[in-house]
Structure 1
Amino acid sequence: MKNLMKTKVNKKGFTLAELLIVVAIIAVLVAISIPIFTSQLEKSRDATDEANVRSAIAEVTAAVLSDDKTDSGDVTYSKKDDGDGTYTMTVKAKGQKAGWSGAASTTESIKIGGIEVKPSTKGWTVSGTSEGDKIKVEEDK
């Protein structure tokens, strides 16, 4: 009897109930953190899209101002029959949901360099003519 009591006292470790409580706490923390993580991930994708469109606008503007007729980098030059040339650049969307992180709604446009840019899940085409017309940003369909 004395040996039985001694072995019971010397056992160390966690009980099943304690382990279940720890697992339940971890499950609750994971359930809370996943939506927060995914919303932050989408915000970072929106910021990437905005930066990419901003960069495309700058590149097309530089091509229009320099009136360089050769394709350079991602900007392509195409000439129509009427003599008017167009510089275009396509930007693929990184975001999986349409909308901008800084906009009040998912359908609201934002202004980048004074140009209205609508949200998209596919991408945008930035274009400007060699005649010096305004730079346009159109949503890819």
Structure 2
Amino acid sequence: MQNKNRSRKGYTLVELLIVIAIIGVMIAICVPIFRSRLEKSRRAVYLANARAIRAVLANIVNTDKFNYRDAKHGNNKEIGFWVLVTRGPSSGPSGDYSGRTVYCCAETDVIIDGKPTKTAKGTRFHNQGVEDAMKAAGLNLDTLSVKASNTTVNGIGGWDWYLVEYGWNDVAKEYDFRIYSGSKKESASWSKHPNPTNIELYLNRQNS
């Protein structure tokens, strides 16, 4: 009788299994939510970086720091220059990009702030004038990259690279700015992406 009212010590195996099961359910619910929010925050950073790069390119245009009188591409005079940000040295678009994470480029005959376009590590379109303008604006090229996954968030897929360009808009028949994205080994040519890309869909949703 003296042990009848003794308080219980510890937990039974069944109770421990119930607690473990509850924790497992909570993790299963919380992890996808956390991942989704992490993806959203990363994409928000990419959009902010892309807008900052666009501002740098716009400043090049507005301050007449480019020479394009001798630049020709196909049947159109092209004065395009751009910045390409990738997931890594081997995750860029097809063609002329490999070995870097960030590429500062211009058309072959374009001169930016007195610096001609020439072949450099990873691309034949490197332009030091674009790179110098990025650094002068305080953008750290070493920290720019794509880290988010390609998972779909709110109905919009991801990307392996994004590109900010001042170039020829074949639809409007004029030069314009564009921010667009693509997958590994996919063409980075503006004309190859006539429809809004994933990053553009994301930008449009933020602006609406």
Residue equivalent to 1:116: none
Alignment of 1:45-84 (within 5 A): 45-68=42-65, 82-83=70-71
Residue equivalent to 1:122: 160
Tell me the CA shift for residue 48 of structure 1.
1.6
Q: Which runs of 5+ in 2 are unaligned?
A: 72-77, 87-145, 168-173, 187-208
Say yes or no: does 1:43 pair with 2:28: no
Secondary structure, aligned partner of 1:88? strand
Deviations 1:87-131 (A, max 9, x none): 322233333227676xxx427xxxxxxxxxxxx5122222226xx
Higher relative helix content: 1
Alignment of 1:1-141 (within 5 A): 6=3, 9=6, 12-68=9-65, 82-83=70-71, 85-92=79-86, 93-97=146-150, 105-106=155-156, 121-128=159-166, 133-140=175-182, 141=186
Number of equivalenced pairs: 112
Secondary structure, aligned partner of 1:106? coil
- The answer as to whether partners of 1:100 and 1:106 remain within 8 angstroms in 2 is yes
TM-score (normalised: structure 2) = 0.43
Distance 1:134 1:50 in 2: 18
Distance 1:63 1:49 in 2: 21
| Cα-Cα RMSD | 3.4
Counterpart residue identity of residue 26, structure 1: I
Distance 2:152 2:68 in 1: 34
- The structure-2 alpha-carbon separation of the partners of 1:80 and 1:98, relative to structure 1 and needing over 3 Å to count, comes to farther
Tell me the CA shift for residue 58 of structure 1.
0.8
Distance 1:6 1:45 in 2: 60
Secondary structure, aligned partner of 1:12? coil
Counterpart residue identity of residue 87, structure 1: F
- The structure-2 alpha-carbon separation of the partners of 1:59 and 1:38, relative to structure 1 and needing over 3 Å to count, comes to same
Q: Which runs of 5+ in 1 are unaligned?
A: 70-78, 108-119
Distance 1:85 1:94 in 2: 31
Tell me the CA shift for residue 44 of structure 1.
1.4
